Amino acid sequence: MSRETKKSFQNKSNKTKDRNIAKLPPFKQDLVHSNDEKKKQFDQEQPKSLEEMMLDIERRQNAFEHEQISVNEQDHFILETADGQEKSRKTFYREFKKVIDASDIIIEVLDARDPLGCRCSQVEEVVLTSGKNKKLILLLNKIDLIPRDNLDRWLKYLRNEFPTIAFRSSTQNQRDRLGHITTSIKACDEYLIKSSNKCIGASTLMNLLSNYCRKNNIKTSITVGIVGFPNVGKSSVINSLKRTQVCQSGSTPGLTKQMQTVKLDKLIKLFDSPGIVMSKDTNPASLILRNCVR
């Protein structure tokens, strides 16, 4: 078949196809045209030779590697300090590791509004596998922000795994002589928990730490590390226990930049740590909702 004959045949075929399309309902015509456009685009994108195919593979590989580098950079710089300068995850991790290594007891502070979302399995695994008989205590902070029934249920759930203390940090404005409510959490009704600006749960925690000293026949001192996500109230917990504003605290994540040491009494020394998000799979949106990043 000659080239002219072949071209004439294709033109007739296209005209017949167009007439058939015109007989179709409007929505089917749109579908046919859409498929034709996709086919043209697909034909244009197909490599015409082995050399073009290799160039196309190389281009896609470079694009993928560039995307992976961007993801790794975002994962590396996940926290931001209060002065607006980003600090790497490695820097925060080193400070966190100092606290873990130097502590006999680790207190993991959880936000009572989302305890499971604030728990860090990596932290708990590091503590339990350290081989140095370290103890882990969960501290359920901000209990004034949830209903009493929810509080009781969370305490029951968490105490199946680790000792858990219900806690409300002091919100008093004075710099020192912060007040404590010594009543046990069982005896505190919901009104008292929500209305008081004094600390609740400090006496229970201190009794637990004192019992640990007696049980292990410790006559010198013990060190207690305070760890947790950014903005769960770690510094506020230390201030409430000390009854003095010794650590800077606020709603801005990243105020604590390095390990801080606070002597609570002659037997107990506290370590405050920077908030750190250990999991690489943590959803950035959930971190923003928890006010973990700026």
Q: How many domains does the chain have?
A: 2
Residues 130 and 191 occupy one common structural domain = yes
Cβ neighbors of 248 (< 8 A, separation 6 or more) are 235, 255, 256
Q: How far apart are CA 73 and CA 15, in angstroms?
A: 56
Mean pLDDT is lowest, of 29-43, 175-189, 225-239, for: 29-43
Residues 191 and 52 occupy one common structural domain = no
Query: Is 80 a domain residue?
Result: no
Mean pLDDT is lowest, of 128-132, 198-202, 277-281, for: 277-281
Residues 21 and 100 occupy one common structural domain = no
Residues 209 and 233 occupy one common structural domain = yes
Q: Is pLDDT at 165 greater than 90 in this prediction?
A: yes
Measure CA of the first residue to CA of the last residue in the chain; give whole Å.
Answer: 72
Q: Average pLDDT for residues 182-191, to the nearest whole number?
A: 89
Reported as type and span, the H/E element at residue 8 is helix 3-22
In terms of residue numbers, what domain contains 65? 3-75
Question: Could you tell me if 225 and 107 are in contact, meaning their C-beta atoms sit under 8 angstroms apart?
Answer: yes
Residues 146 and 52 occupy one common structural domain = no
Residues 122 and 268 occupy one common structural domain = yes
Tell me the whole-structure pTM to 2 decimals: 0.63
Q: Average pLDDT for residues 50-60, to the nearest whole number?
A: 63
Q: Is pLDDT at 3 greater than 90 in this prediction?
A: no
Mean pLDDT is lowest, of 51-60, 70-79, 132-141, 182-191, for: 70-79
Residues 138 and 281 occupy one common structural domain = yes
Q: Average pLDDT for residues 251-259, to the nearest whole number?
A: 55
| 46, 75, 104 - which closes a domain | 75
Residues 94 and 71 occupy one common structural domain = no
Question: Could you tell me if 80 and 86 are in contact, meaning their C-beta atoms sit under 8 angstroms apart?
Answer: yes
pLDDT category of residue 288 using cuts at 50, 70 and 90: very low
Query: Is 179 a domain residue?
Result: yes
Residues 63 and 128 occupy one common structural domain = no
Q: What does the pLDDT look like over 189-215, one tens digit per residue?
A: 899 999 989 999 999 999 998 888 887
Query: Is 81 a domain residue?
Result: no
Q: Average pLDDT for residues 219-237, to the nearest whole number?
A: 87
Residues 8 and 104 occupy one common structural domain = no
Q: How far apart are CA 161 and CA 164, in angstroms?
A: 9
Query: Is 166 a domain residue?
Result: yes
Residues 91 and 71 occupy one common structural domain = no
Residue 41, CA atoms < 13 Å, CB-side half-sphere: 6
More confident residue, 143 or 262: 143
| Pairing between β-strand 222-227 and β-strand 105-111 as defined by DSSP bridges | parallel
pLDDT category of residue 9 using cuts at 50, 70 and 90: very low
Closest CA to 246 of 198, 178, 158: 178
| 15, 46, 75 - which closes a domain | 75
Question: Could you tell me if 105 and 76 are in contact, meaning their C-beta atoms sit under 8 angstroms apart?
Answer: no
Q: What does the pLDDT look like over 68-111, one tens digit per residue?
A: 444 444 444 344 444 444 455 666 677 778 888 888 999 999 99
